[in-house]
Amino acid sequence: MTKPTNITWHETSISKENRREKNGHGSCALWFTGLSGSGKSTIANAVSNELFRQGISEYVLDGDNIRHGLNKDLGFSDYDRTENIRRIGEVAKLFVDSGKVVTTAFISPFRSDRDQVRALFEEEEFIEVFVQCPIEECERRDPKQLYAKARRGEIKDFTGIDSPYEAPEQPEITLHSDQVTIEEAVEQVLTYLRGKNII
């Protein structure tokens, strides 16, 4: 890849702070991470629904959907996962700049990739939400029957089976999705946002 030259960063006249002021709330990225089937999409969507209901400007970036469009050229090699997360991180940053609370639901298995995304943001704008669930329970749920396929050898490099998942060391929020209901998990996230005066 050749790096382009002669490009200049343009400051826009309307700032992130202007947009936050207009919206009447802060903006941030709620970065859900966890195994397939842990509940990232379910909880991220439920959080967004509740924010929407409360009149907060929100958006959901979901793994499967982004992989149908923006990242349809990427697979599940370590390199492709890193590039997947890098691009999503940049998109999430744009949403935060636009004044929204953006929820993202990607496995994002590598700690260094998540840390690279965190580094794109200002302090307290990036909120790592670890959806912690034992793999046995994820495999029991198996909402897309992917664990079954991975066990049969029909999917290679499946996270938790033959591709690693590096759990966050100091996530802002940990949701034990095998112990709390979806509603309780949503409330835990909203309580955090209220505590930080984001909403």
Ligand X SMILES: Nc1ncnc2c1ncn2[C@@H]1O[C@H](COP(=O)(O)OP(=O)(O)O)[C@@H](O)[C@H]1O
Ligand Y SMILES: Nc1ncnc2c1ncn2[C@@H]1O[C@H](COP(=O)(O)OS(=O)(=O)O)[C@@H](OP(=O)(O)O)[C@H]1O
- Contact residues toward ligand X (CB under 6 A) are 34, 36-43, 105, 141, 143, 177, 180-182, 185
Q: Is 108 one of the catalytic residues?
A: yes
- What are the C-alpha distances in Å from 163 to residues 77, 78, 119, 131, 160? 9, 9, 25, 18, 6
Residue 188 token pair: 């835990």
Catalytic residue (choose from 27, 36, 108, 177): 108
User: Which residue's beta carbon is nearest to the bound ligand Y?
Assistant: 63
Query: Which residues inside 84-113 make contact with ligand Y, applying CB under 6 A?
Result: 84-85, 106-109
Here's the x/- map for ligand Y, 142-171, by CB under 6 A: it reads as --x-x--------x-xxx---x--------
Neighbouring-strand partners of residue 129: 32, 173
Contact 57, 99 (CB under 8 A): yes
C-beta neighbour count of 189 within 10 angstroms: 23
Q: Which residues of this protein are in contact with ligand Y, per CB under 6 A?
A: 36-37, 41, 63-64, 67, 76, 81, 84-85, 106-109, 144, 146, 155, 157-159, 163
Active-site residues, by number, are 108
